[in-house]
Amino acid sequence: MIYDQAEFDLRSEWGAKGVSQLAPISDVIVIVDILSFSTSVEIATNNGAIIYPYQWRDDSAVDYARSVQAELSKGRLAKEGYSLSPASLMQIPTGTKLVVPSPNGSSLTLLTGKTPTIAGSLRNFKAVAQFAQSYGRRIAIIPAGEKWDDGTLRPAFEDLIGAGAILSALAGSLSPEAETAVVTFQKFQHDLRSYLKKCSSGKELIEKGFELDVELAAELNVSNCVPLLAENAYVNVNA
């Protein structure tokens, strides 16, 4: 098919359509949602927590959390408790089971089907790349992007950077889409914290009081954690 980048080992495409095109023909797929799903999953699973992605924050999320005997994360603006804020998960105890609704990272995770699925961030990009390569050469990197108010996809600077970081550490032929992400990462990697704070998503979080979350997300290669989806939950398989 024209849009599946199948002639290349390393592929990259945005959002849900990207997952539908690339997951069925890939050995492994990596979901990249830097601000903040992937960063939150890395921090939580690195502490030994178990993260269940869920699409919607509604009554069904309450029922789902109960069914897997897990806590349900709070809305991001909650003053206490665990949420999509990476900072809120810094001290999460080992063994904590947490359901995390997210319209971006969680939703994409739930679309990958039987393809092995990893959550990738700037914090763990080298570990994720190394682990992904163990599944085979056909690797799909999915920058999640954000949503405009009308629900349409907004390609996001931070997710392009995150995808590029992981792709830069992989061996194989790059599709033009994947190579674009690599070049973008290489251009900005010298000052990620500054650029993430100045991009639209970063400015939005800082305005809401979450500057620490942006700083945590910008930390490059500080973790060997590999969050792999297993039995509907992300767990660190590199512990």
Q: Contact, 81 vs 74, CB < 8 A?
A: yes
Nearest residue to 117 via CA among 132, 103, 127, 104: 132
Per-residue pLDDT, 75 = 87
Domain assignment of residue 2, yes or no = no
Between the alpha carbon of residue 154 and those of residues 3, 8, 121, 151, 198, the distances in Å are 19, 25, 19, 9, 16
| Claim: this prediction has a pTM higher than 0.95 | yes
Please give the Cα distance from 9 to 94 (Å, whole number): 36
Q: What tokens does 92 get?
A: 């999460």
Domain assignment of residue 51, yes or no = yes
**CATH code: domain of residue 63:** 3.90.1560.10
Number of domains present in the structure of the chain: 1
Between the alpha carbon of residue 130 and those of residues 51, 118, 136, 187, the distances in Å are 22, 12, 11, 22
Please give the Cα distance from 147 to 156 (Å, whole number): 9
Per-residue pLDDT, 79 = 78
Domain assignment of residue 1, yes or no = no
Please give the Cα distance from 117 to 115 (Å, whole number): 6
Residue at token pair 């190579």: 179
Structural domain of 28: 10-236
Please give the Cα distance from 227 to 193 (Å, whole number): 23
Q: Contact, 71 vs 99, CB < 8 A?
A: yes
Domain assignment of residue 58, yes or no = yes
111's CB contacts (< 8 A; 6+ apart) are: 16, 19, 20, 23
Per-residue pLDDT, 239 = 81
Please give the Cα distance from 235 to 229 (Å, whole number): 7
Domain assignment of residue 123, yes or no = yes
Task: Give pLDDT < 50 ranges for the chain.
Answer: none
Report which residue type is found at 116.
Answer: P
Domain assignment of residue 125, yes or no = yes
Domain assignment of residue 83, yes or no = yes
Domain assignment of residue 5, yes or no = no
